[in-house]
Amino acid sequence: MPLYTVPSTWVGKDCAPFPTPYDRIIAIKSPDGSVLRTGRPSYKDPGAGFSLDDITRIEIPTNPVLSERIAAFAQTCLIGASPDSFNCHQFSSWVNSGKQTASPLHQHTKIVDAPKLNSPATGLALGQRGFVGRMLYDTPKVLHSMIGLGEDNPQCIQIMANGGYLALTTYDEQVAYFTQLALGKSDSTIATHPYGVFAGELFQE
């Protein structure tokens, strides 16, 4: 699936910036051949503008159903939507299962039984849902969710935050981002209960 990206470090309203530039997706080529401009500038992002020289074309691995769901989410939630009307959990639920749910946050409890990847660089299977989080005193704490692009692919696709951009990052970058936030808050539990990537539901056609 062809994507068109520009670099960005903006995560969301009142969110700390990403430490390194990630690939903000400004447009995708949908299965019907049309180009959807998915990354319309958010009025909350002061650095939303870009030049044509900034644009890079990237091809991500997909299958027909996965491509259709990414395009459908973009068409429904990113084009003309209210900036705060979608988040990472809605995106990952929709793309993984096809369920267009408004509030899939309750699904974070599945981290209790989800296997933790030995290395974030291992990657999730194509279309698999994953979570950045940790078990803290037997309580699941999930901060982010994403969709895998293959076990040998270090990148994943996600919405960065509430009303954030559709984006590609690596698993390591997401874990480092949330670890940095915890350290900035002097969270002493992060050393003994570190964040990681947990493998969730496999792709459901």
Task: Give pLDDT tens digits for 40-90.
Answer: 656 678 888 889 999 999 999 999 999 999 999 988 888 866 666 788 988
Whether pTM > 0.85 for this model: the answer is yes
Residue that is written with structure tokens 């990052």 in the block: 169
User: Which of residues 195 and 106 earns the better pLDDT score?
Assistant: 195
Backbone angles phi, psi at 28, to 5 degrees: -130, 150
pLDDT at 201: 84
Give the confidence band of 5 by pLDDT, cuts at 50, 70, 90.
Answer: very high
Task: Give pLDDT tens digits for 18-40.
Answer: 999 999 999 999 999 999 988 66
Upper half-sphere CA count for residue 98 (Cβ side, 13 Å): 8
Highest-scoring range by mean pLDDT, 63-67, 163-167, 180-184, 196-200: 63-67
Query: Quick check: 175 and 191 in contact, CB under 8 A?
Result: no
